[in-house]
Structure 1
Amino acid sequence: MKMSDFPSMGTFLLPSGQVLYRVQSPSMDVSKVARGPVVLHAGPEKFGRFDLSDRPTAYFATRPQTALHEAVYRKNTHELKNTALEGRELIAVATAAPQSLADLRPYSAHFPVLQSVRLKETQELTNELCQERFDGLISRSAQQDGHDCVILFDPPADLFRLLWRSPLSHAGGQGHQWVQVADRGARIPFKG
């Protein structure tokens, strides 16, 4: 998929101070890189729809429950293991500078591939958008209708200011509050 497949490519200016949410595993290993409080996959395998071929890509949601639906409570999931939340955290960060994003939201209905798992198509588009000097993209969530996700291409560490972080499995934490909201809406049973 190429930019030329779209009638035009609008730009969305993500403002400085924008709050973004992400579910991540905070533990580091050789396949991860830290960008401030954000831990990104940096290995050669590319699993995400909008992964770059040669640099890390940061996936965020504009709402905490959307981050949980994207990472844990996915539409095609029929059950979750009791350990699904262990070792993972929900973080909230604020951006320290504006970011110029390709706006894919108007095309969600006409290009279902944007919300599919046909990775070759969407990753090809991502690489072209990065070459065209976009800082990332904004798209509709594939997991929660009407909500948005922000994908940032190889973001610098100083772009993020940590607002809070909370383990998903910690009963008293802020992250757990949002786990309860996502769990109530998704209705996915947990099994041993």
Structure 2
Amino acid sequence: MNFKTPTLLGHTPPILEIPAHQLWHRVQRKTALENSVRHKGYVLAPPGGLAGRFDLADEATAYLADSPETALYESLFRREVRSCHVSRIAQRALLSFETTSPLRLADLRGLEAHYPVLQSMRYETSHAFAAACRQQGLHGVLYASAQHPSHSCVGLFGTGIDRTKRAAAVDLVQAGTGLLHKAVVLAARGSQVPILSE
């Protein structure tokens, strides 16, 4: 295959191969919305919305994190959030996905100081980069969490999603008792985002 490494603002990031049997985590709705994409245990936003950093115009992208807490910081306890209602948390589950085959990813970690666009809300550049990565046969993009310092996230394209399997799923609020998952407690405490019940 004639492989050309995609560039980001003139910089050629390294390509990293992540071995099989690695665990990645995500928070997602327990019940899919009408237009959600459901595939291999994932409930994903439909393509075309381009609301995520590495979204593609014609294919859903799955976002996962290196720890349950990072997944929660990226989804429910983001920097701009002032509070989170327990009913919103109860609508979601924490899922773990295991890689079944190696993943070839563009590694953008460490480039944030040179390219602040990697953690800004201006997504046009990162959308174009994601499309170039997919065109060159990469399975996704590895990047530093903008919400949880020193942690990593991955955006997987369809070929990357197909190289994972769901390993576990647990409700964030335990049915019957209303107890919060430990990772929720840790993320709420770390982010100082109050959880509201009324």
Give the TM-score normalised by structure 1. Answer: 0.90
CA distance in 1, matches of 2:179, 2:108: 31
Equivalent residues of 1:32, 1:39 under 8 A apart: yes
Partner of 1:190: 195
Partner of 2:38: 34
- Whichever residue aligns with residue 190 of structure 2, its letter is G
Equivalent of 1:176, from 173, 181, 185?
Answer: 181
- Whichever residue aligns with residue 98 of structure 2, its letter is A
CA distance in 1, matches of 2:128, 2:161: 25
What is the identity percentage for the equivalent residue pairs of Structure 1 and Structure 2? 32
Deviation at 1:39, TM superposition (A): 1.5
Equivalent of 1:13, from 13, 17, 24?
Answer: 17
Equivalent of 1:44, from 45, 48, 64?
Answer: 48
Equivalent residues of 2:48, 2:56 under 8 A apart: no
Deviation at 1:49, TM superposition (A): 0.9
Partner of 2:3: none
CA distance in 2, matches of 1:17, 1:155: 16
Distance change >3 Å, CA 12–CA 156, structure 1 → 2: closer
Give the TM-score normalised by structure 2. Answer: 0.88
Equivalent of 2:96, from 87, 92, 97?
Answer: 92
Between 158-167 and 64-73, the greater mean CA deviation after superposition: 158-167
CA distance in 2, matches of 1:126, 1:79: 32
Distance change >3 Å, CA 26–CA 61, structure 1 → 2: same
Partner of 2:83: 79
Deviation at 1:156, TM superposition (A): 6.4
Partner of 2:170: 166
CA distance in 2, matches of 1:36, 1:173: 28
Partner of 1:69: 73
Q: Which runs of 5+ in 2 are unaligned?
A: 1-5
Deviation at 1:92, TM superposition (A): 0.8
Partner of 2:57: 53
CA distance in 2, matches of 1:173, 1:6: 50
RMSD: 2.2
Equivalent of 1:103, from 103, 107, 113?
Answer: 107
CA distance in 2, matches of 1:22, 1:84: 15
Equivalent residues of 2:47, 2:56 under 8 A apart: no
Deviation at 1:7, TM superposition (A): 3.0
Between 55-64 and 171-180, the greater mean CA deviation after superposition: 171-180
Between 33-42 and 163-172, the greater mean CA deviation after superposition: 163-172
Between 170-179 and 153-162, the greater mean CA deviation after superposition: 170-179
Deviation at 1:40, TM superposition (A): 1.4
